Amino acid sequence: MARGAREGGGGIGVGLAPDACPRFASNTAAFLGHPGESHPITLRTPVPDAIREHPTASYQAKPEDVHRVLLLYSGGLDTSVMLKWIQDQYRAEVVALTVNLGQPGEDYDVIRGKALDLGAVECHVVDAREEFAREYVVRAIKANAIYGRGYPLFTALGRPLIAAKAVEYARRTGCDTVAHGCTGKGNDQVRIEATVATLAPELKVIAPVRSWRMGREEEIAYAREHRILVKGGTEVAPYSIDDNLWGRSSEGRWIEDLDRAPEDDVFQLVTRPEEAPDEAEVVTVEFERGVPVGLNGERLPLVELIERAGEIGARHGVGIVDHIEDRIVGLKVRDIYEVPAATILLLAHRELEALVGTIHQHEVKPTLDQKWAYLVYAGLWWEPLRTDLDAFMDAANEQVTGTVGVRLYKGSARVVTRSSPNAVYDAQLASFAQSGGLFSQEASPGFIELWSLQSRMAWRLRNERTGGD
């Protein structure tokens, strides 16, 4: 059974929270409960004793540590309930922080208003799109970052930045504690808490959704009691959504049924391939030193370029990934990803690398790419190995300049053209006709003789041995 949005995923509640999904946001928003109506349900879910007495980790807050809390706030149900609950349970002040990483369809004025209505003493909205694109997405592109068989890590890239902003704002606003909306089942708790514990050992963390043991029903009752606006119908638990500039994920509901093919309503970003245009389109991507700088011949700022690539890909049904994934906390889960921008840009980047690198570079870099992706997936953004690897990625990308054409058609993306001033390629050498005097084909037999020498000797030895039997 799909047990509700937050159980499906990390449920941080930053970005587009389940109940802030545009699908539900349109006209179904309603106050649950009526003004003046009194409710029999009075929830005072206690701070669990385990947390009160013996925090498992040094950075976990004991109730007496908590006076002013920086809450990573999305405007969704979980973090809205948290905003009230923290004030209730800890008698603490709450400063709300919402980080814009380019999640589409968000109204930040509404989110700010909601936070203040719920009693936040301050609410900050930070536009971190440029920083996210430059410092996180570009590094991922240089490392061709994919986890598993198709997850371009958009959430994993976003969390360390969101948590770093939480640290920055907690310090700036005099908070002693950071609160987030993750469950105890996902990767996001790892990414956020590892970041806070690394960057700010003086700060404590609380994760109420992980510890309060409220079910969805109870949570909605709490929302009702406190007149918290719940968007969307409450009968069906929504998908657990997370998104930013680099992609969108859905978890929960039927997605947990591995046997079920995706239902159409899950796709809110990418056009269903069968409904995509009948005409193919070629999009050209220009790179300088591994960084995308232009699209279809037009130079664009990074954020706009990523958004534009995403729009074009989405129109052609490109970037749907139905992914079985091994979470770092041990669970195996299924995610539906919509990653049109990442599909196009990573494909084009990889192609250009293939053109400008040598056979030896191509042997090693994918291994390091994979290690990079794993570290980031696993919440170790601040691990020195990641920066060591980035130094390698930067060096390896020095030559990655040029243009790649990608043909998009009903869900597929295929490279059709490529060019680079740094291509380790000579059309004359490669052609079957002339070698252009650069090397003599007469040299090849000598090479073959030495290249195969050990293999031939070994073959002979084995054959002589078995030959006699």
**Which are the catalytic amino acids?**
78, 159, 188, 240
Task: Pick the closer one to ligand ARG by CB: 247 or 357.
Answer: 247
| Helical (H) or strand (E) element with 342 | helix 340-356
Closest residue by Cα to residue 399 from 362, 434, 430: 362
Of 163, 200, 146, 204, which Cα lies nearest the Cα of 321?
146
Rounded least distance, CB 263 to ligand ARG, Å = 18
Q: Binder to ligand ARG among 69, 138, 141, 156 (CB under 6 A)? A: 156
Query: Applying CB under 6 A, what is the total number of residues that bind ligand ARG?
Result: 15
Q: How far is the CB of 78 from ligand ARG (least distance, A)?
A: 10
Please report how the helices 359-377 and 154-172 are oriented relative to each other, as an axis angle in degrees rounded to 10: 50
Smallest distance from ligand ARG to CB 377, Å: 7
Query: Residue 440 Cβ, how far from ligand ARG at the closest point, in Å?
Result: 53
Nearer Cβ to ligand ARG (92/196): 196
**Residues in contact with 98: Cβ distance below 8 Å, sequence separation at least 6, in sequence order:** 14, 72, 73, 74, 75, 108, 111, 112, 115, 123, 124, 125, 126
Q: Which residue of 93, 188, 219, 353 would you call a contact of ligand ARG, by CB under 6 A? A: 188
Burial of 67 (0-12, 13-18, 19+ CB in 10 A): middle
Q: Which of residues 436-455 bind ligand ARG (CB under 6 A)?
A: none
Only one of the segments 32-40, 185-193, 224-232, 276-284 lies at the binding site for ligand ARG (rule: CB under 6 A); that segment is 185-193
The number of CA neighbours under 13 Å toward the Cβ of 320 is 21
* 311-330 positions binding ligand ARG, by CB under 6 A: 325
Residue among 325 and 338 whose Cβ is closer to ligand ARG: 325
Q: Position of tokens 């007496």?
A: 64
* Main-chain dihedrals φ then ψ at residue 117, nearest 5 degrees: -55, -35
Nearest CB to ligand ARG, comparing residues 66 and 156: 156
Binding window for ligand ARG (CB under 6 A); candidates: 110-118, 181-189, 278-286, 400-408:
181-189
**Nearest residue (CB) to ligand ARG, 9 versus 33:** 9
Site for ligand ARG in 337-396 (CB under 6 A): none
Q: Which CB, 185 or 204, lies closer to ligand ARG? A: 185
The residue (of 158 and 290) whose beta carbon lies closer to ligand ARG is 158
**What is the DSSP secondary structure assignment for residue 229, as one 8-state letter?**
E
Amino acid at 441: Q
Residue 93 Cβ vs ligand ARG, minimum distance, rounded to whole Å: 26
Query: Could you tell me if residue 272 is left (phi over 0), alpha (psi between -120 and 50 degrees) or otherwise beta?
Result: beta
The Cβ of residue 215 has, within 10 Å, a number of other Cβ atoms equal to 11
Q: Applying CB under 6 A, does 249 fall inside the site for ligand ARG?
A: yes
Q: Which stretch binds ligand ARG (CB under 6 A): 98-106, 160-168, 183-191, 340-348?
A: 183-191
List Cβ neighbours of 446 (8 Å cut-off, separation of 6 or more).
none
The least distance separating ligand ARG from the CB of residue 255, rounded to whole angstroms, comes to: 11
Residues 308 and 306: their CA atoms lie apart, in Å, by 5
Using Cβ positions, the residue closest to ligand ARG within the complex turns out to be: 9
The only residue of 89, 98, 240, 397 in contact with ligand ARG, by rule CB under 6 A: 240
User: If you ran DSSP here, which 8-state letter would residue 170 be given?
Assistant: H
Euclidean distance between the first and final Cα of the chain, in Å? 63
CB of 409 to ligand ARG, least distance (A): 28
Q: What are the backbone angles phi and psi of residue 286, rounded to the nearest 5°? A: -105, 135
- Smallest distance, Å, CB 372 to ligand ARG? 15
d(CA 33, CA 11): 25
Stretch that binds ligand ARG, among 43-51, 182-190, 265-273, 367-375 (CB under 6 A): 182-190
* Contact pattern from residue 2 through residue 21 relative to ligand ARG, giving x for each residue in contact according to CB under 6 A and a dash for the rest: -------xxxx---------
Distance of CA 229 to the CA centre of its chain: 27
Among candidate residues 421, 369, 375, 431, the one with its CA nearest the CA of residue 398: 421
With H, G, I as helix, E, B as strand and everything else as coil, classify residue 141.
helix
**Least distance from C-beta 187 to ligand ARG, angstroms?**
4
Q: Between 359-377 and 340-356, two packed helices, what is the crossing angle to 10 degrees?
A: 150
Identity of the residue, 12 or 126, whose beta carbon is nearer to ligand ARG in the bound complex: 12
Binding letters toward ligand ARG, positions 83-122, x by CB under 6 A: ----------------------------------------
Please identify which residue in 93, 122, 251, 369 interacts with ligand ARG, judged by CB under 6 A: 251
Judged by the rule CB under 6 A, the positions of this chain that interact with ligand ARG are 9-12, 155-156, 186-188, 240, 242, 249, 251, 325, 335
